[in-house]
Amino acid sequence: MKRCSLIFILVILTCLLSACDNNSVPTITPRVGVMTQSFTEIAKTKLSSSYLLFMPISGELNAFDTSLGAKFKEGQVVVALKQRPLMLALDAAKAKYQSIQKILQASIVEANALKLKRGLAMRDLNRNKGLAEKDFVSKAALDHLQTEADTAQDAFAKQVKTTHAVRAYMASTKAEYGQAQYNLNMSKIKAPINGILLTRKTRGSTWLAAGTIIGAIGAKPTLEGVAEVLTTDAQQLKLGDTVEISLNDQAYITTGKVTEIDPQAFTKRSPLGVDEQRVNVTFSINNKARLNLGVGYRLYARFITQTIPGALLVPRASVLQTKSGHYYVMLKQDGDIKQEFITIGAMNDRSVVVKQGLTSKNHIIEYPENTV
């Protein structure tokens, strides 16, 4: 009996609740406004004008413990290779070159002396050949003069070869001397621009090969943003699209423009372990001084991909979808609440464009999932 009474009470309560005035259900009206389609990505600041610092020659680098963000003027030394080994190498190359210069000079003097001696010997030989034809000079004396001329010729030819060899060797020592001078001149790595130290790849005090990247310098006035955007989103972007920029994903306090979309995508694993295809998208930042930004600062970038003026908008939370994929809202009309199917257009994370099914005078339930 008690159980029947309880059921009866529940039925009565249900009827009373069903009979409640639908006027108590909060509603809203669609509004005419501007629809913006967008997506948001976490971004960071970087310098658009940055220059790599690298080892110009192989050698041992001094300690490189300069703080990141340190300022440098163009031409100022950032870090240098150890100078003593380079100076010793230069002194040795210079001494070697100067020594070979002296040897070459002596060889040239010797060659000139032998050339003169050969000339005298040939002159005597030719003069005595005429005398020998008149029997004024014996054959034995003429043979002796011929031997002297041949000996002088051989000595001169040998000295010429020696001089050529010394000259070639001097050219190589001159190249070594020039290389040693170049190494010393290039041993101080200087800032290519007025800027700040962005990265440091080594602490120095170690031997590094020529071409090894040791850091980078950039100019702070060229601060810009870069975001790793899904390729499906990047396909909607074009150069010049507006970017709204925030520091906390709430209040967008400045704007910028898309300035570059990398042509090369890359694969990156998401926090959920899914491999995603992404691409770097670079954008300008207005009012940089106001934001007090540095290099590598975290940003939230909202990329505006489409703007639709004069659109009929309803909150995204007001739109429901059937299992068959049709969209509808809960329409309040003449005190009753009914299901009203609509045709939608673009949508973003806040609003939906209604193309058919509603007017700005209709009243719909704002949060039907929580109300109905």
Residue 107 sits in a domain of what CATH number? 1.20.120
Q: Is residue 68 part of a domain?
A: yes
**Within a domain: 6:** no
Report the sign of the C-alpha dihedral through residues 219, 224, 228, 231, in that order: negative
| 8 A C-beta contact, residue 370 and residue 364 | no
> Do 258 and 209 share a structural domain?
no
Contact 303, 326 (CB under 8 A): no
**Residue 4 confidence (pLDDT) above 90:** no
Asked whether residue 356 is domain-assigned, the answer is yes
Q: What is the mean pLDDT of residues 105-120?
A: 94
Question: Cα–Cα distance between 241 and 260 in angstroms, integer?
Answer: 10
180 and 324 inside one domain: no
Q: Is the pLDDT of residue 1 over 70?
A: no
Average pLDDT of span 204-220: 90
Dump pLDDT digits (tens) for 251-306: 778 999 999 999 999 999 998 899 999 999 999 999 876 678 878 899 999 999 98
Alpha-carbon dihedral 346, 351, 355, 361, rounded to 10 degrees: -170
Q: Do 245 and 194 form a contact (C-beta atoms < 8 A)?
A: no
Q: Looking at the DSSP assignment, which residues form a beta bridge with residue 344?
A: 354
Residues 121 and 241 grouped into a single domain: no
3-state secondary structure of 108: helix
Q: Are residues 73 and 193 in the same domain?
A: yes
User: What residue ranges in 7-58 does DSSP mark as E strands?
Assistant: 27-28, 31-47, 50-54
Among residues 186, 206, 231, the one where a domain terminates is 186
Q: Are residues 154 and 208 in the same domain?
A: no
Burial class (CB in 10 A: 0-12, 13-18, 19+), 245: buried
Find, among 349, 346, 352, 316, the residue nearest to 244 by Cα: 349
The verdict on 112 and 69 lying in the same domain is: no
* Number of domains into which the chain is organized: 3
CA distance 250 to 255: 14
Q: How far apart are CA 261 and CA 133, in angstroms?
A: 98
Kindly state whether residue 136 falls inside one of the protein's structural domains. Answer: yes
Give the gyration radius of the chain's Cα atoms. 45
Residues 94 and 177 in one domain: yes
Question: Is residue 130 over pLDDT 90?
Answer: no
Residue where a domain terminates, one of 169, 186, 203: 186
- Asked if the model's pLDDT at residue 5 lies above 80, the reply is no
For the chain, give the mean pLDDT.
Answer: 88
Report yes or no: 315 and 274 within 8 Å, Cβ to Cβ.
no
- Would you state the structure tokens that stand for residue 199, as one six-digit string? 């990265």
Specify whether 353 is located in the same domain as 366.
yes
Within a domain: residue 5? no
> Do residues 280 and 149 both lie within one domain?
no
Task: Check: CB of residue 365 under 8 Å from CB of residue 317.
Answer: no
What's the CA gap between 67 and 65, in Å, rounded? Answer: 6
Residue 63 lies in a domain: yes
First to last CA, the chain: 34
- Select from 199, 218, 237 the last residue of a domain: 218
Pairing between β-strand 213-218 and β-strand 195-200 as defined by DSSP bridges = antiparallel
- Measured CA to CA, the distance from residue 108 to residue 36 in angstroms comes to 87
Gap between the Cα atoms of 129 and 137, Å rounded: 8
Containing structural domain, residue 100? 83-186
Q: Quote the pTM value.
A: 0.53
CATH number at residue 206: 2.40.50.100
Q: Are residues 363 and 239 in the same domain?
A: yes
CATH number of 237's domain: 2.40.30.170
Q: Compare 233 and 335 and report the one with higher pLDDT.
A: 233
Residue 173 lies in a domain: yes
Whether residue 291 is found in the same domain as residue 209: no
* Residues 274 and 363 grouped into a single domain: yes
* Angstrom distances, CA of residue 60 to CA of 181, 188, 200, 210, 295: 17, 12, 16, 10, 30
In a domain, 102, yes or no: yes
